[in-house]
Chain A
Amino acid sequence: MKRLLGLSEMIDRALARIALAAGWLFFVATAVICFDVVTRKFGYQLPGFGSTRLQELEWHLHAAIFSFWLGFAYVRNAHVRIDTLTAGLRPRSHAWLELAGCIMFALPYCVVALYFGADYAWTAWARNEASESLSGLPYRWIPKAIIFAGMLLLLAGVLSVALKAITYLFGADGLRERAAFAGMRKR
Chain B
Amino acid sequence: MTAWLAQHLALVMFAVLGVALFCGYPVGLVLGGLAILFGAAGWALGAFEPIQFANLLPRMFGAVAANSILVAIPMFIFMGMLLEKGGIATRLLHCLEVLTRRVPGGLAMSVTLMGTIMAATTGIVGASVIMLTLIALPAMLARGYSKELAAGTIASAGTLGILIPPSIMLVVMGDLLQVSVGTLFAGALFPGLLLSALYLLYIGAISWLKPGLAPALPPDVGPKSRAEFWRMIGKSFFPPVLLVVLVLGSIFGGWATPTEAAGVGSLGAIGLVWHAGKLDAKTVQETIESSALTNAMVFMLFFGATAFSFVFRALGGDDIVKDVMNAAGIDTGWEVLIFVQALVFALGFFFDWIEISLIVLPVFAPLLRDFDFTGHLGPGGNTLFLAWFIIVLAVNLQTSFLTPPFGFTLFCMRGTVPPSVSMGDIYRGIVPFVVLQLIGLALTIWLPELVLWLPRRTGLLL
Residues of A within 8 A of B (CB): 19-20, 22-24, 26-27, 29-34, 36-37, 55, 58-59, 61-63, 65-67, 69-70, 72-74, 76, 78-87, 89, 94, 97-98, 100-101, 104-106, 108-109, 112-113, 116-117, 119-120, 143-144, 146-147, 154, 158, 186
- Closest CB of chain B to A22's CB: distance in Å? 8
Instruction: Among B20, B29, B307, point to the contact of A79 (Cβ < 8 A).
Output: B29
List B contacts of A116 (CB < 8 A): 53-54, 56-57
Provide the main secondary structure of the chain A interface.
Answer: helix
- Closest CB of chain B to A187's CB: distance in Å? 8
- Contact indicator per residue, chain B 235-269, by CB within 8 Å of chain A (1) or not (0): 00000000000000000000010011011101100
| B293, CB-defined interface residue at 8 Å | yes
Contact (Cβ within 8 A) A33 B259:
yes
Contact (Cβ within 8 A) A69 B354:
no
Which among B25, B34, B58, B126 has the highest number of chain A CB atoms within 10 Å?
B25
Residue of B nearest to A83 (CB): B24
Contact (Cβ within 8 A) A112 B36:
yes
List A contacts of B25 (CB < 8 A): 81, 97-98, 100-101, 105-106
Q: Which of B290-313 contact A (CB under 8 A)?
A: 291-301, 303-304, 307
Contact (Cβ within 8 A) B291 A105:
no
Contact (Cβ within 8 A) A69 B27:
no
Provide the main secondary structure of the chain B interface.
Answer: helix
Contact (Cβ within 8 A) A84 B22:
yes
- Closest CB of chain A to B154's CB: distance in Å? 19
Given A66-B74, A70-B296, A105-B33, 14 more A-B residue pairs with CB atoms under 8 Å apart are: A34-B263, A36-B260, A58-B259, A62-B65, A66-B292, A74-B29, A79-B27, A82-B351, A87-B24, A106-B29, A106-B33, A112-B39, A117-B57, A147-B57
Contact (Cβ within 8 A) B29 A70:
no
Which among A85, A86, A116, A120 has the highest number of chain B CB atoms within 10 Å?
A116
- Assembled-state Cα–Cα distance A108/B266 (Å): 38
Which among A67, A72, A79, A104 has the highest number of chain B CB atoms within 10 Å?
A79
| B177, CB-defined interface residue at 8 Å | no
Residues of B within 8 A of A (CB-CB), count: 69
Contact (Cβ within 8 A) A143 B61:
yes
Contact (Cβ within 8 A) A37 B288:
no
- Closest CB of chain B to A85's CB: distance in Å? 5
| B415, CB-defined interface residue at 8 Å | yes
List B contacts of A106 (CB < 8 A): 25-26, 29, 32-33
- Assembled-state Cα–Cα distance A58/B291 (Å): 17
| B28, CB-defined interface residue at 8 Å | yes
| B342, CB-defined interface residue at 8 Å | no
- Closest CB of chain A to B80's CB: distance in Å? 12
